[in-house]
Amino acid sequence: MKSINLVLLITVITFLSCTANSGNKKEKKEKSKFVLVETIYGEMKIELYNETPLHRDNFVKLVKDGFYDSLLFHRVIKDFMIQGGDPESKGAKSIKQLGNGGPGYLIDAEFVSELFHKKGALAAARESDKVNPEKK
């Protein structure tokens, strides 16, 4: 299968926030964080849930640090998924194998039964249970 390295570039990421009024007009509780991903093919609005605070805060930190700026979506499988986030994809040659790079650390798993993978879901990649039994 031919690699598709030039499909999408993350160029600019901006933050939006969503608040929910809990009945008390003075008190507003942040319900979710949203991240706008701008690519050469259009925009994607990503919702980050408060139920997974480690992953939410890590993603926001990496965005603020510019980690995702100009990275490729290095794995594209039609009607299934796209994958990005490998820092080695920035400026990579089309023959370079990608998908093993990361920020250099792992974070603890946050499984929430009410949140599940469905079409359009954003997820953090991890190694198999054999290699990573703690599912970090």
The residues near 28 (Cβ < 8 Å, ≥ 6 apart) are: 19, 20, 21, 22
Domain of residue 121 covers 1-22+29-136
pLDDT tens digit sequence for 10-50: 434 445 544 444 455 545 566 678 888 888 888 888 888 89
pTM for this prediction: 0.72
Rg (CA), the chain: 17
Number of structural domains in the chain: 1
